[in-house]
Amino acid sequence: MKIATWNINSVRARAERAVGVLERWDLDVLLLQETKCRPEQFPTAPFEAAGYEVAAHGLNQWNGVAIISRVGIADVRTSFPGQPGFSKDSTSSTPPLEARALGARCGDVDVWSVYVPNGRAIGDPHYAYKLTFLKALGTAAAGWLAADPGAQILLGGDWNVAPRDGDVWDMQAFEGNIYVTEPERAAFASIADGGFTEVTREADGATYTFWDYQKLRFPRNEGMRIDFAWASPRLAQRVIAAHIDRNERKGKGASDHVPVVVELN
């Protein structure tokens, strides 16, 4: 079984590229983030023509997550327990949930497509939201394993955290900036506290998963590694390989992220 996660940066602009990724890697499941559309706007036709089902969650032209599967889609969930919301109005007592998490049963694996908030800047309300979101997801994931220690769960997505210094091209360039702060790294690592293992660290194909469109970042290989997959203990035992599809960043109309593929026995 092969499962990939990819921040596609607008599925309506890159549907054909997504189908190409499905075919090139012979994927069973593709987790998408930043789809930037509502479910009724999602371009399902090319995926269905390729033999896949689609589950999509989006509320407007921002954020958005989806699951593409040829091994079934069941028990679809559009948020995880305790998922926090966000509002620019700091006085809001019940900020609305954004379209940042989508779970479903695909084959024998419970998959989640996760789009962690960017954080924007240290001290920004969005930064606090990011930390709260990550910690809440860690708590939810720990709860799933406590309820079923043998559960096969994969949390894949754009985490907007570079957990190691080597996950950015130049730590000095990130001094005083988001992605590499200790609170972000600690919140990311909290997923492990619930028993999960990040299973793409030894992936082949590239060092990074994201290259900004500006300043020739991709030709200069000035990237970041911020796309990962966490697996429950039972599922982690099945992982036999991981790959970063660097070639998908090439050519006209590429996303600024690339797919990360996990192979299971």
What pLDDT score was predicted for residue 42?
A: 98
The pLDDT assigned to 185 comes to 98
Distance CA 208, CA 218 (A): 10
Please return the burial class of 84, using the count of CB atoms within 10 Å of its CB with bins 0-12, 13-18 and 19+. Answer: buried
pLDDT for 103-137, tens place per residue?
999 999 999 999 999 999 999 999 999 999 999 99
Q: Is 248 helix (H, G, I), strand (E, B) or coil?
A: helix
pLDDT tier, 77 (very low <50, low <70, confident <90, very high otherwise): very high
Query: pLDDT value at position 181?
Result: 98
DSSP for 186-205, written as a single string: HHHHHHHHTT-EE--TT-BS
Residue with tokens 């079923």: 148
- The pLDDT value recorded for residue 90 is 65
pLDDT tier, 78 (very low <50, low <70, confident <90, very high otherwise): very high
What spatial distance separates the first Cα and last Cα of the chain, rounded to whole Å?
Answer: 6
Tens digits of residue pLDDT in 159-206: 999 999 999 999 999 999 999 999 999 999 999 999 999 999 999 999
pLDDT in tens, 217-261: 999 999 999 999 999 999 999 999 999 999 999 999 999 999 999
**Residue type at position 222:** E
So what's the architecture of 2-264 in CATH? 4-Layer Sandwich (3.60)
Q: Other CB atoms closer than 10 Å to residue 170's CB: what's the count?
A: 9
Is 70 exceeded by the pLDDT of residue 37? Answer: yes
pLDDT, residue 89, reads: 76
Amino acid letter for position 262: V
CA 188 to chain centre: 13
Q: How confident is the model at residue 88 (pLDDT cuts 50, 70, 90)?
A: confident
The residue ranges of every structural domain in the chain are 2-264
Higher pLDDT: 91 or 16? It is: 16
Cβ atoms < 10 Å from Cβ of 20: 13
What's the pLDDT at 93? 80
Place of tokens 């036709």: 45
Work out the percent of the chain whose per-residue pLDDT is above 90.
Answer: 97
Whether pTM > 0.95 for this model: the answer is yes
